[in-house]
Chains A and B, each alone.
Chain A
Amino acid sequence: MEKADGVPPIKIKALNKGGFFFKMEARLQGGIMEKVIAAIDLKSFYASCECACRHLDIFTTPLVCCDPYRSPASVVMSATPYLKKKYGIPNVCRRKDLPRVPGLIFATPRMSYYLRLSSQVVSIFLDYVSSDDLHVYSVDESFLNLGPYLNLYRCGPEELVRRIQGAILDKLGLVTAAGIGPNVFLAKVALDQEGKKKPPFIAHWDYEDVPTKLWPISPITKIWGIKEGTSSHLARIGIRSLKELAEADDGLLEKEFGVMGQQLKDLACGRDESDIENKYEPEERSLCLGQTLIRDYGHEEALLILREMTDDLANRLRRAHSLTSKIAVWESYGGEKGSFARQMALPIATDDTDALYEALKEVFLMDKSPFPLRGLGIVFGRLSDPGNEQVSLFLPNEERNERQDLNAALDAITALYGKNSVLRASSLLKGSTIKVRHEEIGGHRQ
């Protein structure tokens, strides 16, 4: 690493590790920084969390995260590396597809516990790097730019990653795998192709490894960023390997893939200019909510579910300080019976629960199918800022204000006392699912 001319190393005691001074010290000591990215992944995360709390070893324990009291078709969310290696169980499958395994432990999924552990892992990352140099990619995978910190910790990237891995294992009992590279893409591929596979669960790739380690990967869909459709398209133009992609003509790739052509070539060359510090905040352009129904619902009974989902999504819409001017409904009938989806533009943007329900109901009733429902979803699209709200000519101001106050009061109660603290009386009906849904995260138990 090169030292910046004229920048003396300044010692500032790292009192606030995640804060400005910590970062400044690291940057000033590091001088001109090269990028060293680590991709760190929690091995079989949900199953590992369950092993950690039972003080069991993920490499010798047969454990799956799956509710044994739900139907045989219920999803196995995660399996230990032991089961994957010895029985070939994929990380995600269905309970009925599990082989007979002596002493198999079924751990009922509990999402809030997993998310709490995941945030504690992120907290450990922040003990080592500033939030500017951390990108949380998913619940079990993050990228860290270690470049600015190597001088501070006086060690190489492998040693720093080992320290972080050790801290996560000591404090939380979770095993991690890591890939290190000169950019996010190569770190990710090093992780997926080598780091995850065997102890010590660290792989370090550099640009010179591209011809020997990246190009031989086959099929090319094994690498991040190349899906089945892209792979077939590449095959149609005679490109079947990453080496061929790296050497392909720019013009041909642009003609076939448009602006994505260059990105594909960059990946095959091991190039990625992503800078973790330049955070990308996607604009939320729509909000959606859906649920799979556990039994057949007639259309009239499903209106109750529609009402409950509208209440929840309208609450999320207001929490996002947004209005919607486009709504959509989708319904599925289960099996091969097909589905229904329709959308509608609203004359004025709104966040009012009742107005949204009336519009959704109108769309819902357009479905004249005789089949009962097994799935229902709603979408609020074309989101806008409440500052641009138009005044309705049809609703008197007083009524509008009353509705706004009511919605605000209900939102405040649920924010303070939980989602089940205030519900419609219809939640007592047999067909209601709202209370159970509120006790789940992502469709799984909390």
Chain B
Amino acid sequence: MKDRGMMKWAPYKSLDAQADYLAAMAHEKDKKDKPLLSSEAASEINEILADYRGEKVSARYFEDGYVQERNGVIAEVNAIYKFIKIGGKILSFQNLLGLKILGAEK
């Protein structure tokens, strides 16, 4: 008979809450420092924003220890408070890591 392997050692499920605490711990532990933005990448973002004509974009940004991505049309570029708005989400300039034009919005 084949050994049942780790099936024999299935964890106790008596406390469902333990899984939530472990997930929260793993989430905290996986957090990274904000990547440094090169001057080339910063000027590339700047150029795209300066020439922006309502195309769909893909934005990479840093939030709470993780690099995220959001696609959509930039609804607002606010130079005074230094943020852009994509699909209702406000992304501050200082957290932007990259911006790519995906194409014209249909």
Spell out A's residues near B (CB within 8 Å).
18, 111-112, 115-116, 118-120, 122-123, 126, 131, 135-139, 143, 184, 225, 254, 259, 261-263, 266, 271-276, 278-280, 282, 441-442
Contact with A279, one of B1, B6, B13, B26 (Cβ below 8 angstroms): B6
B8 & A263 in contact (Cβ 8 Å cutoff): yes
Task: Using known A-B contacts A136-B22, A184-B9, determine if residue A272 contacts B17 with beta carbons closer than 8 Å.
Answer: no
Measured CA separation A262–B4 after assembly (Å): 10
**Nearest chain A CB to B13's CB is how many angstroms away?**
8
A115 to B21, alpha carbons, bound, how many Å? Answer: 7
Known: A137-B12, A280-B10. 19 other contacts (CB 8 A): A111-B17, A115-B15, A118-B18, A119-B24, A122-B25, A123-B29, A137-B9, A137-B11, A139-B18, A263-B1, A263-B3, A271-B3, A274-B3, A274-B5, A274-B9, A275-B6, A282-B7, A282-B13, A442-B14
Question: In whole angstroms, how far apart are the Cα atoms of A428 and B104 in the complex?
Answer: 56
Name the contact of B1 in the complex, choosing from A126, A139, A259, A274 (C-beta under 8 A): A259
- Smallest CB separation, B4 vs chain A (Å): 7
Which residues of the other chain, B, contact A259 by a CB distance below 8 angstroms? Answer: 1
B17 near A115: Cβ-Cβ < 8 Å: yes
Query: Which residue on chain A has the smallest CB distance to residue B23?
Result: A119
The answer to whether A136 touches B11, judged by C-beta atoms less than 8 angstroms apart, is yes
Q: Which of B1-48 contact A (CB under 8 A)?
A: 1, 3-15, 17-18, 21-22, 24-26, 28-30
Do residues B3 and A282 form an inter-chain contact, with CB atoms below 8 A? Answer: no
Partner of A275, one of B5, B13, B17: B5
Q: Which residues of B contact A (CB under 8 A)?
A: 1, 3-15, 17-18, 21-22, 24-26, 28-30
A-B pairs with beta carbons under 8 A, tally? 82
Q: Which residues of chain A are within 8 angstroms of B30 by Cβ–Cβ distance?
A: 18
Sampled A-B contacts (30; CB under 8 Å): A115-B17, A115-B18, A118-B21, A119-B18, A119-B22, A119-B24, A120-B25, A122-B22, A123-B29, A126-B29, A135-B9, A135-B11, A136-B22, A137-B11, A138-B11, A254-B1, A259-B1, A262-B1, A263-B1, A266-B3, A271-B3, A274-B9, A275-B5, A278-B5, A278-B6, A280-B9, A280-B10, A282-B10, A442-B14, A442-B17
By a CB distance below 8 angstroms, the chain A residues around B11 are: 135-138
Within the complex, the shortest CB–CB distance from B26 to chain A, in Å, comes to 8
Given contacts A115-B18, A119-B21, A123-B25, contact A272 B12 (CB under 8 A): no
* A415 vs chain B, min Cβ distance (A): 11
With contacts A115-B18, A441-B17, A442-B17 taken as known, whether A274 is within 8 angstroms of B8 at the C-beta atoms is yes
| Cα distance A136–B21 in the bound complex, in angstroms | 12
Given A18-B29, A119-B25, A136-B22, are A280 and B17 neighbors across the interface (CB < 8 Å)?
no
Do A274 and B6 contact each other (CB < 8 Å), given the known contacts A119-B22, A120-B25? yes
Let me know if B29 and A273 touch, CB within 8 A: no
B6 touches A276 (CB 8 A): yes
Q: How far is the CA of A111 from the CA of B14 in the complex (A)?
A: 13
By beta carbon, the residue of chain A nearest B22 is A119
Complex interface: chain B residues within 8 A of A118 (CB): 18, 21
Q: Which residue of B lies closest to A136 (CB)?
A: B11
Q: How far is the CA of A312 from the CA of B55 in the complex (A)?
A: 45
Q: Give min CB distance, A187 to chain B, whole Å.
A: 11
- A131 (CB) vs chain B CBs: closest residue: B26
Contacts known (A18-B29, A280-B10); A116 close to B5, Cβ less than 8 A: no
A143 to B14, CA, bound (A): 18
